[in-house]
Each structure stands twice: as C-alpha cells, then as structure tokens.
Amino acid sequence: MRRQNSSGKLEICCYSVLSCRNAEAGGADRIELCAGMPEGGITPGYGTVKTALEQVSIPVYVMIRPRGGDFCFNETEKAAMLEDIKILKTLRPGGFVIGALLPDGRLDLDTIHRQLEAIGDYPVTFHRAFDMCSDPDGAVSILAGLGIENILTSGLYQNAWEGLDNLARFSQIAAGKINIMAGSGVNPGNILQIAETGVNAFHFSAKRTIASPMIFRNGRIHMGGDKSVDEFATYEADTDLVRQAKSLIETRSAG
C-alpha cells in the first residue's frame, strides 16, 4: 500500500456526487465516498463512484462496507466486500476505506489481510470499526505494521470532542507510522482544539439540509425503517463550511 503524509489534511465524508464537487470547491484535500448516511456509511454504487471520479480531481477514497450495524461480517458479506473491491478498483479511485472485527472486538486480521491483498497498492483508511475494537492501543500498532495509511477515529466516544485524551494517546502510539484522523462531530468551531491532540488529519461531512422539491407527499407511508429520518430532505456538503475548516487548518499550519 502507498502511505502518504496526511499532516493537516481535510477529508470530507460525501454521500453524493454533488457533495464531492462542493467539497473540492471548498478546498478539501480528500473525499471519503459512501452511501447510506443513516447507516453510518456503506459501499456506494458503481455509477456514483464512476461519476464522482469523473467530476472531481482530488482523491476519492471509497467505503467498503456491505451494511450498517456492527463490523463482524459473515462469509457472504466478506465475499461481497472482496467483489466490491475488485469491481471498484477498475475505476482507479484514490483509495479504499475498510474495517472488520471479530466477535470479541479484536481486529479480524484474516479479513483485513484478504482485503488488503485485493486492494494492492492503493492507500487505505481503517474506518471507525477502530472505535469499537477491544484493544485500540494495540490496534494502532498492528494497523501501522500492515501499511495502512489512516485510522479514522472519534477517540472511542460518539464525538471526537469527547475523546481528546484518547486521540492524543493514539497519536503518540502512532509516532508518525500511521496517520490518526479525527472524525465525528468535527467542525470549524472545534477543529483547532482537536488539532492540539496531535492528530494528522480531520474528517467531517460539513453537511447542510436540502429540502426535497416534491410537492405531493403521501404522509401515510415511510419508505425506510427509521421513522425519525426526514425522507423529504437530502444532506449535501456545504462549500462554505469546508472552506472555513480548511482555512483554519492552513492558518494553524502556517503559524
């Protein structure tokens, strides 16, 4: 795998091609492209990945995750992830985003090794399965030894702001051998404080709500399982929020 220096990098989590374009316009360094925002991010479709790669020039890392929920996958799901990697690799994305755990919370190294073999030389981020593992300190060293580029983590809390102490510890353990990327709840209002932990990069969605153009709405029907989700709204990366975050990061790096 190619490991790159992510110092000061800003990654935007995008769920559409429009968000990818907005992220690039705002100065983002990299995109994590997913589907399924309510599920916390799953593998996007081939057409979405292809179109995004055609319309933006910054690196697009593709999420490989077959479903929402936990990160303990059965053999059918593991096979599907390998097939997704094989198919999406033909599009030559900027990198891939993976993660898998055993029932006891340890890294599922067999699955990870097989995915890395399928990915080949593309850069890899280990996603927030890291925040659900039973030995995160040990996982930092293991993942670094595998040549993985980034670990995306909220510091074991719902929001990175709550996990500052853990983020600082992970950064010390990483010692430059792997990039620690803070994600979940990161925004222009707290990014400088989070940077003080020594993390290498920052990940957030910068999302704003876009009302559906639908005029006719059948209020008796909800298409998804979570009735709290507004199905007449979409969420897109906001160029101004991306630009604010990038400006703060650049000002801090220059200082």
More confident residue, 251 or 45: 45
C-alpha span between 244 and 229 (Å, rounded):
28
The mean pLDDT of 23-36, rounded to a whole number, is: 97
Element (H, E) at 243: helix 239-254
C-alpha span between 205 and 194 (Å, rounded):
16
pLDDT at 228: 77
Using CA atoms, how far residue 110 sits from 65, 115, 230, in Å, is: 16, 9, 39
What are 197-232's pLDDT values in tens digits? 999 999 999 999 989 898 898 888 888 777 777 888
pLDDT at 226: 73
- 63 and 95 Cβ atoms separated by less than 8 Å: no
CATH number 3.20.20.380 given to 9-254: yes
* pLDDT(131) > 60: yes
pLDDT at 1: 53
Diameter over CA atoms, the chain: 56
* pLDDT(184) > 80: yes
| Domain boundaries, given as residue ranges, for the chain | 9-254
